[in-house]
A and B are shown apart, each in its own frame.
Chain A
Amino acid sequence: MIRQPDPKPDVMARRDSIVAGLRALLPETGLIAEPLRLKPYETDGLSAYRQVPLAVALPETTEQVAAVLRYCHRNGVRVVPRGAGTSLSGGALPMEDAVVVGMMRMNQVLDINYPDRCAVVQAGVTNIGITNAVSADGFFYAPDPSSQLACMIGGNVNMNSGGAHCLKYGVTANNLLGLKIVTINGEIIDIGGAHLDAAGYDWLGLLTGSEGMLAIVTEITVRILRSPEGARAMLAAFSSNEIAGGAVDAIISSGIIPVALEFMDRPAIHACEAFAHAGYPLDAEAMLIIEVEGSVEEQDRLLGQLSAICQKFDPISLKISQSPEESAAIWKGRKGAFGAVGRISPDYLCMDGTIPTSQLPLVLRRIQEMSDSYGLKVANIFHAGDGNLHPLIMFDANDEASFHAAEEFGADILRLCVEVGGCLTGEHGVGIEKRDLMPVQFHAHELQQQRRLKSAFDPDWLLNPSKVFPLLEPGAIELPQAA
């Protein structure tokens, strides 16, 4: 079980007065403290861990966020920011003595500006909500995490979320222009704006992916892009992971950067086909979904070239989508991968590491060996163009031994990612899940330097303090002040 810092006794003792104090700062229904109504906030997308918080605040304006933080700062109360609660790394897991600040009521699109290709949205707007607001005019917001129907842009900013199309369009950090943030002492600060590349330090870049540890983000200025004329996908199936990996290398070497390049291994293919009936080849060991964009003629030309490249790797099958419906079916299987695995296993852990793409065959072989030795099945889905691996480890949460084995298996995979030159997390964040693995990737003094940066924003360590960094034993190392 993941260790949490001890609750602050003085905060627990003052629970009722803290609830009353916060209630006075918020609209009538804006504070939740009844045990039954706190229950839905006890976990997030990493549902193996649960902790009911002290209270949940649901502000409707930036000023209310500021008032809540100012109160918490003055009273030494810890704060856990929360968007839709879809974090797969436990980024929004509450603490017993913490106030969860939920952003779901700040769900307005405030401004859309097509000449300047940007939109201003509140943190509680869903990822797909941004695209929905501009799609009738032919625009879209590019990062597309699999949870995009539910996840909120504020959470995307804090986790620097990616998606299947970031090989071409980049991750969240590459698609932001400005933020409105509230610091722990309740100050409201505008970072950036509608312009590119603000002078001074890159606060936008540092805050993106900071996992709620530096400030609460209330408004975001995002770049919106004009949609391409069209897009089309193809499927290429191969007889081994090595051969499919070779095809990925050959595609990148050809100078073609597909808008998406997804890799699925045999267990993933079978799980997704049973779920989505997308026509995936069940006799293949590995399969690529390749998508290109442009006019129909451009799509034809690129897909023809990609087919010719794949032909050199003795594909079991090649299938070029002939219609938007066929492309949608191809994607339905991939995007439904989590649900598909959920159908064949009572529970699963979705891991998220990145590796140099050249290491893919080795890494998949080692994962298979681990799967055999742990006695747990695994399905691998991989953003092949950028090396982001998502092994889905299947286990049974009702069996404690099975859960612990799955956790160990996952940790071994992430250690392997670091060992071959990669990293612990490509797009899900460290959260609580990978916190204690951070020393695998970073030296102690490097973590200490990152902690100092947190201290520069949050000297009392009140903002999401149990995430990202391994807990320090009391007295072992001083919690650093910034300087």
Chain B
Amino acid sequence: MTTEDSIVAAVAEAVRTREPLLVQGNGTKAGMLRPVQAARTLSTAGLSGVNLYAPKELIISAASGTPLPDIENALAAAGQHLIAEPPDLSDLLGATGKPQTLGGVVATNLSGPRRVAWGAMRDHVMGVRAVTGRAEIIRSGGRVLKNVTGLDLCKLFTGSHGTLGIITEITLKVLPAPEATGTLILQGLDAAAGVAALSAALGSPFGVSGAAWLPPEAAARVPGLGGIAGSATLIRIEEFAPSVIYRIGRLKDQFAAAGAVTLDTNASLAVWKDVRDARPLAVGPGDAVWRVSTRPSSGPSVLNALRPAGVVGFLDWGGGLAWLAGPADTATHAAVEAAARAAGGVWTLMLAPDSLRSIVRVVPDEPAALARITREVKAAMDPSGILNPGRLYAGL
């Protein structure tokens, strides 16, 4: 049986034998970033269960191996939800037949469409317990919503991909789920015009909580967009029902675009779940998948620059997140790097064969001064280098 103590013991043993560990939950995101060369796998999947849920305090604490659907169901039963809307990428990354865990979405800091308005997973991690590479249990944060006591290791652990410590418990801020959801769809805009519309919507007083642009071939892959001809520019409002009607109406007036259509709550939920899970992305067999994050207005330039390289994609986060799929080779990867750099953005290699992802920069290299701090921080947390070595950067 897995307990926090057994994880401490396993880390201590790995430190003693100097045998690296592959740290994971259910392994649904093992295909992300670089492959880890490790003698053994240490899974948190056995650490499961909600330890505290106080809906009136907007707080939930659970063991890191808790299946994310269990968390989502517990919240839904009390009319609440996960603020960052983390995606379920199991189909995209290769389904393992097991659900992703809470620890998995925190360790990868993956957020969905709502990120553009309401923050990332890292913004809502209020507390963590973790086992460091020193085989010590440390805590950061707590179970309250505002806490600046000491250095914020919650943020450091979130998105560290298991390289700094093994998260065993996570406390999240949660919020009431909206009473209704509405979507305004503008049809047939090219990427630049679509993103300009998204910027105007996000810059409106109406609290837009989702803003995506899907080219025609991507829109065609979303069943809920069946009647849409050409590209789809999607604008979401999540609010009390009368406010959804009012705000969608005001946005529709603002754009006054021919062919603007609206979706009701149920249709909206289905469409945005597909956007969240990157289902508009056409991933061919053997293709690689990237996420590129840029300033929103540069999103179209990333798509346009990569089309000649055979890379397809769509934009979320008002244009600031490009989901991309294309040939899994070094030339295409170099083109993605170049397009991201030209737009002042960053890339993450989400899926590729080991042969590619072990030889390319899966995320950008840091400037030398920062890379040195990265090595020092890694050494401070995991001096023996046994936790997911090489996951983010070669040799770290």
Contact = CB atoms under 8 A, between A and B. Distances in A.
B122 A194 contact: no
A388 interface: yes
B295 A116 contact: yes
Contacts of A371: none
B149 A423 contact: yes
A302 B239 CA distance: 12
Interface in B89-144: 109, 111, 115-116, 119-120, 122-123, 132, 134, 136, 138-140, 142-144
Nearest to B347: A199
A449 interface: yes
Interface in A60-96: none
Given A187-B369, A198-B346, A297 B246 contact: yes
A416 to B, nearest CB: 13
A429 to B, nearest CB: 6
B136 A445 contact: yes
A445 B138 contact: yes
Contact of B56 (A170, A208, A357): A357
Contacts of B136: 445, 449
A327 interface: no
A228 B205 CA distance: 5
Interface stretch (A2-10, A121-129, A250-258): A250-258
Nearest to A386: B145
A162 B147 CA distance: 10
17 contacts: A116-B295, A116-B297, A138-B205, A194-B295, A201-B156, A204-B155, A208-B152, A209-B148, A227-B205, A297-B246, A354-B144, A355-B144, A356-B143, A357-B57, A426-B147, A430-B150, A441-B149
Contacts of A162: 146
Contacts of A429: 148
A47 B8 CA distance: 45
Interface string A239-276: 00000000001001101110000000000000000000
B265 interface: no
A456 interface: yes
B204 interface: yes
B58 interface: yes
A457 B345 contact: no
Interface of B: 54-59, 79, 109, 111, 115-116, 119-120, 122-123, 132, 134, 136, 138-140, 142-156, 158-160, 164, 175-177, 179, 196, 199, 202-205, 207, 240, 242-243, 246, 293-297, 317, 320-321, 344-348, 363-364, 366-367, 369-370, 373-374, 376-377, 379-381, 383, 392
A201 B377 contact: yes
B142 A423 contact: yes
A114 B164 CA distance: 37
A220 interface: no
A115 B199 contact: yes
A171 interface: yes
Nearest to A420: B144
B203 A115 contact: yes
Contacts of A317: none
Given A189-B370, A253-B55, A423 B147 contact: yes
Interface in A394-447: 421-430, 434, 438, 441-443, 445-447
Contact of A196 (B120, B207, B379): B120
A115 B344 contact: no
A255 B346 contact: no
A56 to B, nearest CB: 26
B160 A201 contact: yes
A218 interface: no
Contacts of B111: 197
Nearest to B154: A205
Contact of B143 (A198, A201, A421, A443): A421
Nearest to B150: A450
A131 interface: no
A446 B379 contact: no
A430 B119 contact: no
A160 to B, nearest CB: 5
A187 B111 CA distance: 32
A421 B144 CA distance: 8
Given A171-B148, A199-B346, A468-B151, 16 more contacts: A189-B369, A196-B317, A199-B293, A200-B392, A208-B152, A228-B207, A252-B176, A255-B179, A297-B242, A301-B242, A356-B144, A422-B142, A422-B144, A425-B147, A442-B150, A449-B134
A117 interface: yes
Contacts of A205: 122, 152, 154-156, 158
A197 B159 CA distance: 9
Contact of A116 (B139, B205, B296): B296
A383 B146 contact: yes
A358 interface: yes
Nearest to A224: B203
A294 B367 CA distance: 44
A468 B150 contact: yes
A314 interface: no
B34 to A, nearest CB: 12
B146 A386 contact: yes
A209 B116 contact: no
Contacts of B146: 162, 166, 171, 354, 383, 386-388, 426-427
A-B pairs with lowest CB-CB distance, top 5: A205-B155, A199-B363, A456-B376, A483-B379, A194-B295
Contacts of B242: 297-298, 301
B318 to A, nearest CB: 8
Contacts of B240: 301-302
A453 B151 contact: yes
Given A200-B366, A203-B370, A426 B144 contact: yes
Contacts of B243: 294, 298
A483 B380 contact: yes
A202 interface: yes
B8 to A, nearest CB: 12
A482 interface: yes
A249 B56 CA distance: 6
Nearest to B374: A201
B384 to A, nearest CB: 10
A16 interface: no
Contacts of B373: 183, 203, 456-457
Nearest to B165: A449
